[in-house]
């Protein structure tokens, strides 16, 4: 599509990098606003959101590099060029979770309530970030002849050129936007226990990710025949989300009965 938004002399503005910045800003603003609405300490929450998102980007990039080492062995400096594309969000989730646990203890913020506030922000950031993927051509799909197939012709794209492909980046964006809307609605209107929103994120996001992976055309590490590495992680996170959902629900009912 349009990997490079524009150039001003030696300065190149990559569309992917811009969309990551927009996603970052949107997530911080939403989390800050929702933290205030929840009566939480917004100053601490702003710091938390900043470090969680930074660690998430680093983790997402690290996992991408580890699963695509051949792209970086000859040119290690490309590892830091995230504005050109190349993030795996599960790496980001793991890194963000580790950072969250550390900072929540440091700032003495309630874990489950904080994660409830962060979950919709994470979903909307992922939706926006996938638009960046689409523009850069990374995370591209398999060959297809469907009416909504896309063709990348820009010489700077990361996708195969002049071939009709599944717009998997847009599939991801739509799935993440749907998750965001569900989480945001429940957070505002129908939350039954603290931790519910975060647990639902762990259940809902992997479903979309698992399904869209069947249409991905970029190289992956496969196991068990048709499933790839990311789908394996999706199954683990989904099952973890189911367990945590019922655990938190049961714990909340027990506390009310005491």
257 lies in a domain?
A: no
Structure tokens of 229? 């590495």
258 lies in a domain?
A: no
DSSP structure class, residue 160 = P
Structure tokens of 235? 């199954």
26 lies in a domain?
A: yes
23 lies in a domain?
A: yes
- Domain count of the fold of the chain: 1
User: How high is the pLDDT of residue 24?
Assistant: 81
C-alpha dist (Å) from residue 137 to 48, 59, 86, 156, 229: 31, 21, 10, 9, 21
User: How high is the pLDDT of residue 243?
Assistant: 96
Under-70 pLDDT residues of the chain: 67, 71, 80-90, 219-225, 253-258
User: How high is the pLDDT of residue 128?
Assistant: 93
Report if pTM > 0.85.
no
Instruction: Give the whole-angstrom CA distance, residue 141 versus residue 50.
Output: 32
DSSP structure class, residue 189 = I
99 lies in a domain?
A: yes
Domain carrying residue 238: 4-252
Model pLDDT for residues 22-73, shown as the tens digit of each residue: 888 888 889 888 988 888 877 777 777 778 778 877 877 777 777 677 767 7
Instruction: Give the whole-angstrom CA distance, residue 244 versus residue 234.
Output: 15
The whole-angstrom distance between residue 106's C-alpha and the CA centroid of its chain comes to: 25
177 lies in a domain?
A: yes
């Amino acid at each position: 599509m349009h990997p490079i938004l524009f150039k001003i002399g030696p300065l190149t503005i990559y569309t992917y990098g811009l969309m990551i910045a927009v996603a970052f800003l949107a997530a911080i603003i939403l989390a800050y606003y929702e933290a205030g609405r929840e009566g939480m300490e917004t100053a601490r929450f702003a710091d938390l959101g900043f470090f969680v998102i930074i660690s998430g980007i680093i983790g997402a990039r690290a996992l991408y590099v580890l699963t695509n080492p051949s792209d970086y062995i000859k040119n290690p400096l490309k590892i830091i060029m995230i504005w050109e594309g190349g993030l795996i969000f599960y790496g980001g989730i793991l890194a963000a979770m580790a950072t969250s646990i550390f900072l929540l203890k440091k700032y003495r913020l309630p874990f489950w309530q904080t994660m409830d506030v962060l979950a919709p922000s994470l979903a909307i950031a992922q939706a926006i970030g996938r638009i960046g993927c689409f523009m850069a051509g990374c995370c591209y799909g398999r060959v297809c002849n469907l009416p909504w197939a896309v063709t990348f012709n820009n010489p700077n794209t990361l996708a195969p050129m002049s071939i009709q492909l599944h717009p998997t980046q847009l599939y991801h964006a739509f799935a993440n936007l749907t998750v965001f809307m569900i989480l945001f609605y429940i957070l505002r209107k129908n939350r039954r226990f603290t931790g519910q929103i975060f647990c639902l994120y762990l259940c809902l996001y992997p479903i979309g990710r698992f399904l869209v992976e069947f249409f991905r055309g970029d190289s992956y590490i496969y196991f068990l025949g048709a499933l790839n590495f990311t789908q394996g992680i999706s199954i683990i996170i989904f099952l973890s989300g189911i367990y945590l959902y019922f655990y938190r629900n049961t714990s909340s009912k027990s506390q009310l009965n005491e």
